[in-house]
A and B are shown apart, each in its own frame.
Chain A
Amino acid sequence: MNNHVFRPLYLALAIVALVFLARYLLVPKDFGAHERGYMYGWHRKGNENEWKAVTVKYKTSAYCKECHDDKVAGISSSSHRFIACENCHGPALGHPEDPMKLNVDTRRELCLRCHAFLPYPSSGRSAIRGIDPEVHYPGKQCSMCHNPHNPRIPTSRS
């Protein structure tokens, strides 16, 4: 058969080969349909480990207890015992090496998250002792009178 018939065919085959070569070079080796099949599991397997490798910032109260068991024991009899240490003291990150000291959030706004009174009958919120922030010593830090680790007894009232 004549050459002019085959020439476009060769060109088409070359383009197909080029597409396959590009696919071979560009698509990661671990990319494919994994456990959940083509519809939901079509992905790069290595990405799962990338997500697993994210650093843990909040180390939980159990981690704090390893060194600060006296503080944990102090709060354990108060109504605040359910609150995780890191909610007020901030994420432990690499503490005690980095950062060496954690900054306690002593802002009034932190306490008001739970203790600003809201008249919501069908929520657990209304069961918490609350105040009206605009009437109850506005602008003052709560910890001036209340000890966050033992909130029931007001301390050093002047």
Chain B
Amino acid sequence: MNRREFLKNSITVIAGLAVPLSALEFINPKELLADKPGGEKVRWIFLVDTQKCVGCGLCVMACKAENELPYDADVSRTWVERYVVTRDGNTLIDSPKEGRDGYTSQKITMGDGTSRNVRPEDIEKAFFVPKLCNQCENPACVQVCPLGATYQTQDGVVLVDRKMCMGCGYCIMACPYAARFFHPVYRTAEKCTFCYHRITKGMKTACVDACSFDARRIGNLRDPNDPVTKTIMSGRIGVLREEYGTKPQVYYLGLSREVK
């Protein structure tokens, strides 16, 4: 290879690497807001305010009853995580029973079955983070389904067809947010549907109705007058695991870097 060839090849490689830079743009709610001609008028989105959440777990309780999940099974479509960051730099995270019974004790359950008590003066910050399916615009779980059993509706909700699902679990592995699990009764993949039976009737999701503190809100991104859309367009919002490129549509206020 002579010098001319080497330079030519280098330029080609650099030009090639520069092209996918546009693919590095992760979160852009405006792109979804745009009303495409002949497109759907609804795109469901969710807003979680972690500053307001008090960890009562009533959302988890309501979700389980509303969506017919066995109450005592250790799975839930939505859950609440507790984060306790200590002054010496440790982050302790727990979610006993998915937060179903709320957080009534300062004891933090550890993975090995023990619990740890952090003295109040050792706490740097502590807060609760409600989580649920992010109803991604590019859902990784849907791409991996070999059967067409999971799919995205026109209004942006990812659903599972229990008749088609054979329970291979690819989608459960593919979800970066661990939002999917096996239904203990049907033995098929299960996930949050944004209470599709409620939102399509003009109601709010069961968790939003159960929340007394306005920590959870549901909205329509295609409606510019929707208060949730306004907050997302103008507020300081974040999403979880943006770097996966799934374009999650559950937005968070008051996220901390400890939250993953």
Contacts and interface: CB of A to CB of B under 8 A. Distances in A.
Interface of A: 31, 34-36, 39-44, 47-48, 50-58, 60, 82-84, 86-87, 91, 109, 112-114, 116, 118-125, 128, 133
Contacts of A47: 151, 159, 161, 163-164
Contacts of A48: 153, 159, 196
Contact of B55 (A56, A82, A91, A123): A123
Contacts of B68: 54
A109 B153 CA distance: 39
Contact of B197 (A44, A51, A86): A51
Nearest to B85: A122
Given A58-B65, A123-B126, A113 B57 contact: yes
A17 B101 CA distance: 57
Interface residues on chain B, size class: 35 or more
Interface in B146-176: 148-154, 159, 161, 163-164
A119 B123 contact: yes
A58 B209 contact: yes
B210 A87 contact: yes
Given A84-B209, A87-B210, A123-B53, A113 B104 contact: yes
Interface string B132-144: 0000001100110
Contacts of B61: 87
B151 A60 contact: no
Contact of B126 (A114, A121, A128): A121
B177 interface: no
Contact of A43 (B101, B143, B151, B197): B151
A23 to B, nearest CB: 13
A39 B62 contact: no
B92 interface: no
Contacts, number: 153
B54 A56 contact: no
A61 B73 CA distance: 28
Nearest to A61: B209
Interface stretch (B27-35, B178-186, B200-208, B234-242): B200-208
Contacts of B214: 82
B210 to A, nearest CB: 6
Given A44-B163, A120-B123, A120-B127, A114 B62 contact: no
A38 B213 CA distance: 40
B120 interface: yes
Given A122-B126, A124-B51, A51 B154 contact: no
A114 B161 contact: no
Contacts of A57: 65-66, 206
Given A34-B154, A39-B143, 5 more contacts: A40-B151, A60-B204, A86-B62, A113-B103, A124-B53
